[in-house]
Amino acid sequence: MEKVKVTRKDLEIKKGTIEVDCIVVDGKNINLTPVNYQSIEKFITHEDCCNCGREFKKGNTYDIKCYTCRSLDSIEKFNQLQLVEWDGETPLYLWDLDVYFFDYESIEDYCFENETEISELRLVLCEKSHFSYVDYEDFAQEVHEDWEPSKEMKDKLEEFNKFLESQSTDTWFPSKKRVDLTEFAKEVDHEVR
């Protein structure tokens, strides 16, 4: 069943009163009954874009911009990232699409399957996550405020943190650096011929 189109203008906002249980403390009323909060946004299916003013169908409850304006914002944000050269090995992330590439062939396959050119991809260099260091303050809730760890504990934590440095998370996240593979693709294509 398709939802009926509802805009902000279609909903009339009225003043109303509700009864709640309360107590009086120091001359102030304290509500005992929680009042459910309802947002008008929950009931609106179409909204006027806060950027261009055109009406659009909302995909999410709190969308305030149309798809076109959100896309333009995303492109602008991407273009503001630092442009770096790709080393041919570091994984890449496809901006806004949650797609990761771990080799050049998978990028070519993606372009073939999605009928797009490498030059059209908005790719971001990935960076590997690392395990966080363990500090004795991680245990601070278990001890009194003046507690100091023993030398042995400090040494063991230092040894463990060095061990953590050598361990791989095998987890990659997008960085704040973009790459353009247009020239890289030309070089690969030239080598193939």
Within a domain: 101: no
The residue from 51, 80, 109 where one domain ends is: 80
Residues 143 and 74 in one domain: no
Statement: residue 34 has pLDDT above 80: no
Q: Which residues of 154-186 are buried (b: 16+ CB within 10 A; e: fewer)?
A: eeebeeeeeeeeeeeeeebebbebbbbbeebbe
Tell me, what amino acid is at 157?
L
Within a domain: 172: no
Domains contained in the chain, number? 2
Collapsing DSSP states into helix, strand and coil, what is residue 160? helix
Statement: residue 179 has pLDDT above 80: yes
Between 149 and 54, name the one with better pLDDT. 54
Residues 2 and 66 in one domain: yes
Show the domain range for 148: 136-165
Q: What is the pLDDT of residue 56?
A: 94
pTM: 0.66
Sign of torsion, CA 11 12 13 16? negative
E strands, 5-153, are 22-25, 28-31, 46-48, 55-57, 82-84, 92-94, 99-101, 123-128
Q: What is the pLDDT of residue 61?
A: 83
7, two tokens: 């805009």
Between 124 and 141, name the one with better pLDDT. 124
Q: Tell me the mean pLDDT in the region 78-87.
A: 95
Within a domain: 182: no
